[in-house]
Structure 1
Amino acid sequence: MKDATSIWAQLSAMVNESPGGEAKSLRRNSSVVVNRFFGNAVPLRADGRPNWSRRIFFLMTIGLMGLVTGCLLLFLQPYEALFKWKATFGPGGEIYEIWRLPPVDLYLKVYLFNITNHEKYINGKDFKLKFEQIGPYVYKELLEHGNVTFNDNGTVTAVPFHPLQFIPQLSNGTEEDIVIMPNIALLSIANVIKDASMITRWGLNVLIRQTDSKPLVHMTAKEFMFGYKSTLVTLGNNVMPSWIKFDRLGLIDRMYDFKGDIETVYTGETDARLTGLIDKYNGAETLPQWPGECANVQGASDGAKFQSYIEPNQTLKFFRKSLCRSAIMVRTGEKVVKGLYSYKYKFRDHELDNGQINPENKCFCRQDFCLPYGLVDVTDCYYGFPIALSYPHFFESDPTLLNAVEGLNPNPKEHESYFYIQPKSGIPVDLAFRFQINMALQDISSIENVDGFSNLVLPLLWFEIGMYELPDYLNTKFFFYLNILPIMQEIAIYGLFLAGTICLVWSVTKILTYRPANTSISSQWLDSELQRKRMNYLNDKPISRNSKKLDMYFNSLLSTKDEEILEPSALEELVNLKEAIV
């Protein structure tokens, strides 16, 4: 069979030789005849226009819309806008509500250092006090930021509440356990009066003898933690009301005394990174206990929420009233906690130095008296008593502190603080804040009954405030916000780019590469089309020699089947006819 295009070339040449308007008429409609006669790859309308033009226009429009929408998503980043909106504190806001009333299990674990050789030490038979760690006594901390007031400068003011609830099933022991602990009242008053006049010291010694106060006393675990009655303290409250303004003494009780405290934090309206961080504590950016930069707490976190959008090498600041200062944290690693990517933080090296290594920490020396490395003097935060903080079991502290006592065994796994923080939201997903409370005594040999305790640092207890995982529903919510939504946005952006590009490329390629396809002839259409043109031709123009032969040829085509037209005989007839016309 002959190529259809070849037949058309010969037919076109013959038609071009037709005289007058009939040739022009046939040429004008030749594209319609050919495309309908030989091709259906790109069907045409009755007027000769491609039938696919509307479809191509539609696809090109879809392609352009996909590219434009993808560019808008890439430029506007709707996920980031949504996340910042949710992270900003406001009435009813999601992250705000988590900060206001954290729906997490926050626990306080307290370990007491029970003295096991008190009689031998008092009698001078042992030269070191021996301590036995007991506990933990576990309490659930019901943290809440109450009495919230939103301010006009992008901050919110609240009163912190930290009520504790004893959890016996998680505790190793009961609050009624009998322990032997240092008499904080006696030792503290002795440390305060040591430099007083002789008459004052004599009066204190008389008071000690009358009350029969001992340096080591029996009491329950609860009394030591949350306050016990002391005749010496009661008398001191009457004699020295300007100093001793209490009649019960307890260390944990003091740690959780938030009465009258006010905390002002950033809402994130002006800077989303600062959401939840402290602007002022008790109306000031600094603590009254310290001078200079040591006093600054602005930009610190109280542990409920840390900074948002944390950079990999960025340091964080942590503040807790029990610490009586802010502390710098550094990133030490990373970890996925229940599907949430998080940075691991710990307190930076030498953070509890008092200027021996880091000169900037010199301001933590109280009244120009610096405690040994690893101790923080928090006297002004604990009744004015000589209380010092360290890491548990004197971890990362001056070795002389550990050598002076027996029974303490520091190790980083149990005694080092850690914080796992989701960097984008600033939400802690696992943390344990660990510190030890000690008595840092100076030379108190001039005071009755306490001469064997001069220049000692006595470990009293250590505590861990921990939140070890987010509740499942909260973890799932953050997993969706932090993991799923960003991926959905990326899929949408690149999906729109890809779909738009494919639609545009396909449309342009279809237009530029179109060629009529070789197909069989539709005889039914051809019969009607040629008959119509023949009749128009005969009615409009006189018959010339060429037109008669064309008419004869068209008639022969009308009487010929589709499959015969492409036979060699038809082609030969066409060639002969062309020669005759010429």
Structure 2
Amino acid sequence: MQLLVQSRILLCDFLKRLQKENITFHPNNTVSYREYRRYYFEPSMSVGNESDVVTIPNMLVLGAAVMLENLPFALRLMISATFKTFNEGPFLTKTVGELMWGYDSGLVEFLNKYLPGMLPTSGKFGLFTEFNNSNTGLFTIFTGQDDIRKVHRVDSWNGLKELSYWRTPQCNMINGTAGQMWPPFLTKESTLPFYSPDACRSMEFIYQRSGDFKGVPLYRFSSSKNLFANGTEYAPNEGFCPCRQSGLLNVSSCRYNSPTFISQPHFYNADPVLLDYVQGLHPTEEEHGLFIDIHPPTGVPLNVAIRLQLNLYMKRVSGITETGKISEVVMPMIWFEENGYIDGPVLKTFHTNLVVLPAVMEIMQYGFIALGLATVVVAALVHHRVKRARHAVVISTVVGHPSASDKEPVKGSHSGGTQEKSIMGNSEK
């Protein structure tokens, strides 16, 4: 099974091909699979190019400085000398392709040789090196065969029923689906929970508004301000701490303890104070919000936009001269957008089978109901007229024919009259 998703990173567009492999069905109405992802640069859709050169803060140096700030001062001096030996400074100038998919670094080779396991990669170092040509883990989800309300819900991930990254059982829960489909018959009171391996946690979108996508009715679900709120503003998120400003998720616990945070792009839905440290940020819902447009009766996403920003926590660390006089700041490194939508023959089939045909059937249903009612009314009128006609015939028969007393005299009366006449005759005599 394959799916194409468009991703935009550093003004470059990539097509992400998703393919499920090792699909295995189990007796308990679950199915397991691994989903592999591969990125392909798409020049026709990009503003920039993979060969464009950009300068960003050096995550290897500035991130390591924060991670090692509690070491003895002498060791920090040695680390700074090591950085200088490999010509690693506070900033890094590379092409987009190198930053994305990796570049050769003498420091990385040195660390992998003498401190294996310290870095997430054993080869080239890049922001998305571990994402390309990789899988998102072993998902086991419910098929919904025994209960449609459980369809696509995650049963386990990599064999785990819960995570161990966070401080509370609630934050370690694996909730919802794998983020590609949801159970049918959604309402405005429904939520869209899903587990994201990249964010190392479960997330939940809430209903925002109704609408339509190319003629197909939908509900839009989006992230709330509580999604990345800190524990002070939203108590259930206390388990994701240690926290900084609201709107930042500390993912160091699942990213090799590196001082990295994820947020919505341009710190959308975050503490406004974060905008004071970085120029050029203008967060808007239209450009930086997260949303899923879904067809409520089926739970099928029609239009999706997932936008996240990777941030590095930086500050001056004494003994590591590469940090200079850097102020304590959460610096945006890169933000990316993944969007996908149903189009072409798939959308046409979806619209025909799930919008047009149900509408026609509903019209026919009411048409048949109206026809049935009309038939009942006509039958009642006919029955009433027939009954009245029969009643009129009976009355006419009774009025139009004389009774037996009019046709024959009563014998008793006739004899009485004769006798009376005889008596009167005798008296005259």
Note the alpha carbon deviations across 1:64-96, whole angstroms, 9 max, x for none: xxxxxxxxxxxxxxxxxxxxxxxxxxxxxxxxx
- For 1:298, the aligned partner's letter is N
Q: In the alignment, does 2:30 pair up with 1:110?
A: no
Aligned twin of 2:342: 470
Note the alpha carbon deviations across 1:87-120, whole angstroms, 9 max, x for none: xxxxxxxxxxxxx434xx5200012xxxxxxxxx
Among 219, 239, 249, the residue aligned to 2:94: 219
Q: In the alignment, does 2:48 pair up with 1:209?
A: no
List alignment gaps of at least 5 residues for structure 2. Answer: 393-400, 410-429
Among 355, 358, 370, the residue aligned to 1:486: 358
Query: Which whole-Å CA distance do the structure 1 matches of 2:195 and 2:212 have between them?
Result: 25
Aligned twin of 2:378: 506
CA spacing shift, 1:184–1:490, aligned 2, 3 Å = same
Among 161, 178, 182, the residue aligned to 1:285: 161
Query: Which whole-Å CA distance do the structure 2 matches of 1:146 and 1:406 have between them?
Result: 44
Aligned twin of 1:156: 31
Among 147, 165, 188, the residue aligned to 1:271: 147
Note the alpha carbon deviations across 1:546-566, whole angstroms, 9 max, x for none: xxxxxxxxxxxxxxxxxxxxx
Q: In the alignment, does 2:13 pair up with 1:138?
A: yes
Aligned twin of 1:236: 111
Alignment length (residue pairs): 396
Q: TM-score, normalised by structure 1?
A: 0.63
CA spacing shift, 1:502–1:408, aligned 2, 3 Å = closer
Aligned twin of 1:353: 229
Query: Which whole-Å CA distance do the structure 2 matches of 1:444 and 1:360 have between them?
Result: 33
Aligned twin of 2:417: none
Give the 5 Å matches for 1:431-580. Answer: 431-453=304-326, 455-467=328-340, 469-514=341-386, 515=389
Aligned twin of 1:567: none
Aligned twin of 2:192: 316
Among 122, 126, 138, the residue aligned to 1:250: 126
CA spacing shift, 1:258–1:294, aligned 2, 3 Å = farther
Displacement of 1:513 in angstroms is 2.3
Displacement of 1:341 in angstroms is 0.8
Q: Does the Cα contact within 8 Å between 2:37 and 2:131 map onto a contact in 1?
A: no
- For 2:232, the aligned partner's letter is Q
- For 2:145, the aligned partner's letter is E
Q: Does the Cα contact within 8 Å between 1:185 and 1:230 map onto a contact in 2?
A: no
Q: Does the Cα contact within 8 Å between 2:309 and 2:333 map onto a contact in 1?
A: yes
Note the alpha carbon deviations across 1:224-249, whole angstroms, 9 max, x for none: 11112222121111121132252322
Query: Which whole-Å CA distance do the structure 2 matches of 1:229 and 1:488 have between them?
Result: 62
Query: Which whole-Å CA distance do the structure 1 matches of 2:86 and 2:379 have between them?
Result: 101
CA spacing shift, 1:256–1:285, aligned 2, 3 Å = farther
Aligned twin of 1:376: 249
Query: Which whole-Å CA distance do the structure 2 matches of 1:394 and 1:355 have between them?
Result: 17
Q: In the alignment, does 2:317 pair up with 1:418?
A: no
Displacement of 1:492 in angstroms is 4.5
Query: Which whole-Å CA distance do the structure 1 matches of 2:257 and 2:109 have between them?
Result: 16
Q: Percent identity?
A: 27
Displacement of 1:400 in angstroms is 3.0
- RMSD between aligned residues: 2.7
- For 1:108, the aligned partner's letter is S
Task: Identify which range, 401-410 or 503-512, moves more after superposition.
Answer: 503-512
Query: Which whole-Å CA distance do the structure 2 matches of 1:394 and 1:197 have between them?
Result: 35
Aligned twin of 2:61: 186
Q: Does the Cα contact within 8 Å between 2:175 and 2:202 map onto a contact in 1?
A: no
CA spacing shift, 1:504–1:166, aligned 2, 3 Å = same
Structure with bigger strand share is: 2
- For 2:103, the aligned partner's letter is Y
> 3-state SS of the aligned residue for 1:204?
helix
Q: TM-score, normalised by structure 2?
A: 0.84
Higher relative contact order (CA 8 A, sep 6+): 1
Query: Which whole-Å CA distance do the structure 2 matches of 1:486 and 1:404 have between them?
Result: 54
Displacement of 1:194 in angstroms is 1.2
Q: In the alignment, does 2:177 pair up with 1:305?
A: no
List alignment gaps of at least 5 residues for structure 1. Answer: 1-99, 112-135, 519-573
- For 1:295, the aligned partner's letter is N
Aligned twin of 1:172: 47
Q: Does the Cα contact within 8 Å between 1:256 and 1:322 map onto a contact in 2?
A: no
Note the alpha carbon deviations across 1:426-479, whole angstroms, 9 max, x for none: 111112111111111355233131133352222111000001x31232222222
Note the alpha carbon deviations across 1:20-52, whole angstroms, 9 max, x for none: xxxxxxxxxxxxxxxxxxxxxxxxxxxxxxxxx
Query: Which whole-Å CA distance do the structure 1 matches of 2:369 and 2:333 have between them?
Result: 65
Aligned twin of 1:556: none
Query: Which whole-Å CA distance do the structure 2 matches of 1:107 and 1:508 have between them?
Result: 64
Displacement of 1:214 in angstroms is 0.6
